């Protein structure tokens, strides 16, 4: 596919993804009240434990409206995740065979729960993160947090975890598109583990190592599951290439791969 066609396809997929996001945001607008109460609950719990004034502050006349709009779009990203994840997949893998296209629905079906599982894991870690950060407030002092700053913190946490859990889907998509082989993913497994633990340490600001490990281990596990899927796909591709007399994905010639001498 030429570059111009790629750009046209990208514009088309982005338009469809944004359209789905807007529809999700409209739904999120009507869910604002219960969602904001859930967002505020960790702060209220810490305030009740410490017996101090710890609350969210709306600084400005239009802040409450701006907050509702941001929460609506935040919910729109979550609600429309099946749609925009499919658009991403459809753009990355336009050259698949008919048989391989059948896998698209399975991968999208896996990507959506993975994204939501990552978001749920971030939501599980949120109360501990809020408690730790507020604990730095000196005794007798008042912690009045800007509502929009707090919302930005929560959104970054949830979306970062959700996107991190999409890593295996991206790995498989790049492999099926012929851009990255399983061997390349296999050679980078040490870096993958290091990045997973660094990500967990940064995104879970709690003093205990248990929480960091519980966050990092699922990401590492998903990496190796995706690596296995990529290896199986490369094996099928190599068998087809050997039958056609072509070099394998690892660069071996047919006679080398079968143990024969030229």
Residue where the block lists tokens 């305030």: 47
| Burial class of residue 25 in the structure, from the number of CB atoms within 10 Å of its CB (0-12 exposed, 13-18 middle, 19+ buried) | buried
Element at 5 (helix H, strand E): helix 3-30
For the chain, what is the largest distance between any 2 Cα atoms, rounded to a whole number of angstroms? 82
Contacts of 199 (CB under 8 A, 6+ apart): 160, 164, 216, 219
For the record, the structure tokens of 50 come out as: 């410490």
Helix (H) or strand (E) holding 206: none
Q: Phi and psi (nearest 5°) for 57? A: -120, 135
What are the DSSP calls for 229-249, one per residue?
A: HHHHHHHHHHHHHHHTT---T
Q: Quote the pTM value.
A: 0.70
> Cβ(173)–Cβ(79) under 8 Å?
no
DSSP 140-190: T--EEEEHHHHHHHHHHHHHHHHHHTTHHHHHHHHHHTTSS-HHHHHHTHH
Per-residue tens of pLDDT for the chain, all 262 residues: 566 776 787 788 889 999 999 999 999 999 999 998 888 888 888 888 877 778 888 887 888 888 899 999 999 988 998 888 888 777 766 655 666 666 666 777 778 888 888 888 888 888 888 887 787 777 777 788 888 888 888 888 888 888 888 888 888 877 876 778 888 888 888 888 998 888 888 776 666 677 778 778 888 888 898 888 888 888 888 887 777 776 666 654 444 444 443 3
Which residues pair with residue 146 across a beta bridge?
Answer: 57
């Amino acid at each position: 596919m030429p570059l111009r066609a790629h750009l046209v396809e990208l514009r088309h997929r982005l338009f469809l993804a944004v359209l789905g996001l807007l529809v999700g945001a409209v739904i999120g607008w009507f869910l604002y009240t219960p969602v904001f109460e859930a967002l505020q609950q960790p702060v209220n719990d810490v305030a009740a434990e410490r017996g101090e004034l710890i609350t969210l502050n709306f600084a400005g006349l239009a802040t409450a409206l701006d907050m509702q709009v941001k929460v609506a779009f935040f919910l729109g990203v979550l609600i429309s995740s099946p749609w925009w994840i499919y658009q991403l997949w459809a753009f990355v893998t336009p050259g698949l065979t008919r048989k391989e296209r059948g896998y698209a629905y399975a991968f999208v079906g896996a990507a959506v729960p993975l994204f939501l599982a990552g978001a749920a894991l971030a939501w599980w870690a949120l109360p501990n993160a809020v408690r730790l950060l507020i604990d730095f407030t000196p005794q007798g002092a008042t912690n009045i947090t800007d509502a929009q700053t707090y919302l930005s913190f929560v959104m970054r946490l949830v979306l970062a975890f959700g996107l991190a859990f999409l890593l295996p889907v991206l790995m498989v998509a790049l492999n099926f598109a012929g851009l990255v082989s399983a061997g390349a993913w296999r050679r980078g497994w040490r870096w993958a583990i290091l990045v997973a633990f660094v990500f967990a340490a940064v995104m879970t600001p709690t003093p205990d190592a248990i929480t960091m490990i519980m966050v990092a281990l699922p990401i590492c596990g998903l990496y190796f599951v995706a690596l296995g899927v990529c290896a199986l796909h490369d094996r099928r591709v190599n068998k087809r290439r050997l039958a056609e007399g072509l070099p394998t994905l690892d660069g071996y010639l047919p006679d080398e791969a079968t143990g024969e001498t030229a």
